[in-house]
Amino acid sequence: MSTGDRVFLARLAGIDVFDPGGDQLGKVRDAVTMLRADRQSPRVIGLVVELAARHRIFVPMGRVTRIEPDQVVLASGTVNMKRFERRSNEVLVLTDLLDRTVTVRENGQSASVVDAAMEKNRTRDWVVSRLAVRTHTGRLPRRRRGELFQVDWDEVDGLGVSGAHHGADALLAMLSDMRAADVANALKDMTATRRIEVAAALDDDRLADVMQEMDEDDQVSLLGSLADERAADVLEAMDDDDAADLLGEMSSADQERLLELMEPEEAAPVRRLMTYADHTAGGLMTSEPVVLLPDATVAEALARVRNPELSPAVAAQVFVVRPPQATPTGRFLGTAHIQRLLREPPSALVSGVCEKNTGRLRPDAPLGEVTRHLATYNLVAAPVVDEHDRLLGAVSVDDVLDHLLPEGWRDADRDADRDAGLDAQGAIGHG
């Protein structure tokens, strides 16, 4: 099925998908991608997995930890069980691309696509890199009629986006390789119509990352341009503290409507965070730090902090607690920093190496106290506990910086980029 990290998708279809505990979740039915206006390989954003009773769901590629000849294994974490509904800009590789007629650019030969291979690029994203095609008619040097051979994605014509939407798709192609903060700056320079068009084309995780880099007013405006169901999906994909901050800028009626549309397990931590006052530890914290029980090993801790979805500040340490493990947890025992973990045997227990004397913050601690606490103990994140010493979450230095910087600092940063010749408007134009 694969060569190195290369996986042929037609052979992937139908194999079993397992969760980290070894339980079967379903079977692979397709892969989801978005075609580009240029000739670069399109990114595979996720798999379509069929559960019992033909219920199909979307699993982001970030959840996939291993692809083997007979199984796909997912990382730990929740999987959205909502029925998969393809968006207008999405392409199903097996459904839409197989049997498509293409032209081999080298010789003009007409051929049909019979398979597509995906592999990881330098940024560790999965992309559709090669195609297996079968020639149609005529004879060409070294190619017999009906011969099956492989070509790179950029060696064929006939699979690009339609010319009618070239402007928007070319823009999306440019944005695809930009950092979330740079995309947020680019959106600010666009017309309202083009901004909504781009937001509709981005997948939920990407749009969530971008919105977390936007000013609050721009976040509210963009979220309000989305259909309620899509807005709820994007809120689920955001960090819970950012989602709580965003909802806090909206009316009570809008808050409750969107929270009701979110999955209950995703909405619950957001609701808790919204009960805390702004500029307090509770209002700044995330309720999803890396939490482990005392019998977890150093190897398990290091595996958890390798999760690419974690921010550097959150991944810098793990918090050790008594059961239950989900926040609010059992009694907080201490913090184990990654530098200490790297110096310990993999089989050692985290409870034996965690630090117990770096202090704790109460959820009502004001911003000044949080800042002094982080500086005093040279921390990038600090535990927040309740009166019973249960861990509620962690407040990180990047959350504090967002509130310490002057209002409009993102605009000032954007102006500095202009002076350096990195003006997003000049690079991508207006819609």
Query: Mean of the pLDDT values across residues 49-53?
Result: 88
Residue the block writes with tokens 């976040």: 219
- pLDDT of 212: 92
**Alpha-carbon torsion (284, 288, 293, 299), positive or negative:** negative
Q: What is the pLDDT of residues 103-119, one digit of tens each?
A: 998 888 899 999 999 99
CA atoms within 13 A on the CB side of 56: 13
- pLDDT computed for residue 428 by the predictor: 31
CB-CB contact of 43 with 58 (8 Å) = no
Tell me the Ramachandran region of residue 299: left when phi exceeds 0, alpha when psi lies from -120 to 50, beta otherwise.
alpha
pLDDT score at 189: 67
The pLDDT of residue 250 is 95
pLDDT of residue 382: 95
pLDDT at 424 over 70: no
Angle value at C-alpha 15, between 14 and 21, nearest 5 degrees: 140
- Collect all residues with Cβ–Cβ distance below 8 Å to 345 and sequence separation of at least 6: 298
Per-residue model confidence as pLDDT tens digits over 173-231: 667 777 888 888 878 767 788 788 889 888 899 999 999 999 888 999 999 999 999 99
**pTM of the full structure:** 0.57
What integer pLDDT is reported at residue 22 of this predicted model?
Answer: 86
Where are the domains positioned within the chain?
2-95, 97-161, 178-275, 291-404
Q: Give the whole-angstrom CA distance, residue 241 versus residue 247.
A: 10
More confident residue, 139 or 355: 355
The one-letter amino acid at 195? R
The pLDDT value recorded for residue 170 is 55
User: Under CATH, which number does the domain 178-275 receive?
Assistant: 1.25.60.10
> Is residue 37 a contact partner of residue 169, using CB atoms and an 8 Å limit?
yes
d(CA 65, CA 56): 20
Fold (CATH) for 291-404: CBS-domain (3.10.580)
Query: Tell me, what's the pLDDT at 193?
Result: 80
* Residues contacting 339, CB < 8 A, separation 6+: none
Say which CATH class 2-95 falls into: mainly beta
Which of 32-46, 131-145, 309-323, 388-402 comes out lowest in average pLDDT? 131-145
The enclosing H or E element of 25 equals strand 24-33
Torsion of CA 255, 326, 49, 16, to 10 degrees: 180
**pLDDT of 347-387, one tens digit each?**
999 999 999 887 899 999 999 999 999 999 899 999 999 99
| pLDDT exceeds 50 at position 397 | yes
**HSE (side-chain half, CA atoms, 13 Å) at 391:** 31
User: Residue 414 class from Cβ within 10 Å (0-12 exposed, 13-18 middle, 19+ buried)?
Assistant: buried
